[in-house]
């Protein structure tokens, strides 16, 4: 019978292979990855959940848990952590698009996202700058417009009005943005799996997928399109529900604590070798 440790090893290999493919493509050598792996081990081992009750987590304790020497733990702790500017840019741009789609103040008479002037002559008038101020804080509206224009999510007409071309912000050309999504989205999925491994059945987070391995190639384009359309509709519906309860959008919302909640959907497709039955 395969042991949990063996199953875990197999799972780690499966998730590492596509990750290593990306790292090799971007020129990250093994030594750099090894330092990052050590950093992750040290960071996680230093968390309260791995400490002895009533005691401060020490370098010696982290060394015992991780198998690293105390000298190596100290060295890894001193490594710089790069700032994730791309993640902040992604979050801010996505919030602006979400606000444009669901906030009736920025809709036309038919309830669709309206073309917006960049600035309004009327202090109370609605504009793209006001949209950004409302949903992205103090980030310059021009910076958001440049980013959304760059990826083709909006366009500015000859009349100067900014129009929404896509209801989703997907970085189209920026490698930094896409690589940031890699860390955020895959990290959230693994966090969900970790939660479900430890929790009671009734406390499990939703984690499902549907998969078939003998579909004809001709079925893929149709499914790809249908999946994208239906998934986008679901995400927009959930976005409306969540935004109505988000304190940043609605400061009057009560309740206790502070939760960050995300729901992601992905589509995967690959060729199956002919020899596989």
The predicted pLDDT at position 276 comes to 56
Name residues whose C-beta falls within 8 Å of residue 44's C-beta, 6 or more positions apart in sequence: 50
Average pLDDT, the chain: 87
The predicted pLDDT at position 164 comes to 93
* pLDDT tens per residue, range 168-192: 776 655 577 677 778 888 999 999 9
Strand partners, 116: 162
Segments in the chain below pLDDT 70: 82-88, 122-125, 170-174, 177, 275-277
- 96 closest CA partner among 135, 140, 148, 151: 135
The yes/no answer on whether domain 85-164 falls in CATH 1.10.10 is yes
Per DSSP, the chain holds a count of helices (H) and strands (E) of 9, 3
Phi, psi of 162 (to 5 degrees): -90, 125
The predicted pLDDT at position 250 comes to 80
pTM for this structure?
0.71
The predicted pLDDT at position 179 comes to 78
- 86 closest CA partner among 195, 173, 4: 173
The predicted pLDDT at position 257 comes to 94
Cα 44 from Cα 66, distance rounded (Å):
9
What is the four-CA torsion angle of 159, 161, 165, 169, rounded to 10 degrees? 150
The predicted pLDDT at position 210 comes to 94
Cα 118 from Cα 220, distance rounded (Å):
40
């Amino acid at each position: 019978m395969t042991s949990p440790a063996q199953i875990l090893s197999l799972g780690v290999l499966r998730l590492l292979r596509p990750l290593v493919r990306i790292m090799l493509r971007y020129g990250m050598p093994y030594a750099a990855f090894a330092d990052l792996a050590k950093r992750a081990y040290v960071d996680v081992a230093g968390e309260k959940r791995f400490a002895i009750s009533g005691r401060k987590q020490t370098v010696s304790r982290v060394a015992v848990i991780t198998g690293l020497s105390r000298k190596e733990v100290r060295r890894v702790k001193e490594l710089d952590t790069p700032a994730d500017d791309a993640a902040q840019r992604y979050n801010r741009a996505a919030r602006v698009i979400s606000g444009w789609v669901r906030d009736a103040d920025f809709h036309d008479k038919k309830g669709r996202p309206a073309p917006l002037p960049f600035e309004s002559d009327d202090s109370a008038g609605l504009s793209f700058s006001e949209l950004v101020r409302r949903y992205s804080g103090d980030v310059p509206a021009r910076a958001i417009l440049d980013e959304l224009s760059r990826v083709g999510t909006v366009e500015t007409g000859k009349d100067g009005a900014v129009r929404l071309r896509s209801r989703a912000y997907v970085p189209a050309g920026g490698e930094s943005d896409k690589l940031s999504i890699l860390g955020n989205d895959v990290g959230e999925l693994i966090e969900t799996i970790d939660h479900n491994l430890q929790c009671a059945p009734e406390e499990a987070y939703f984690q499902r997928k549907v998969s078939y391995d003998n579909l004809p190639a001709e079925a893929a384009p149709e499914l790809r399109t249908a999946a994208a359309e239906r998934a986008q509709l679901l995400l927009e519906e959930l976005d409306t529900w969540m935004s109505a309860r988000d304190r940043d959008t609605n400061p009057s919302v009560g309740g206790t604590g502070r939760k960050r909640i995300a729901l992601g959907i992905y589509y995967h497709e690959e060729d199956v070798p002919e020899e596989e039955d």
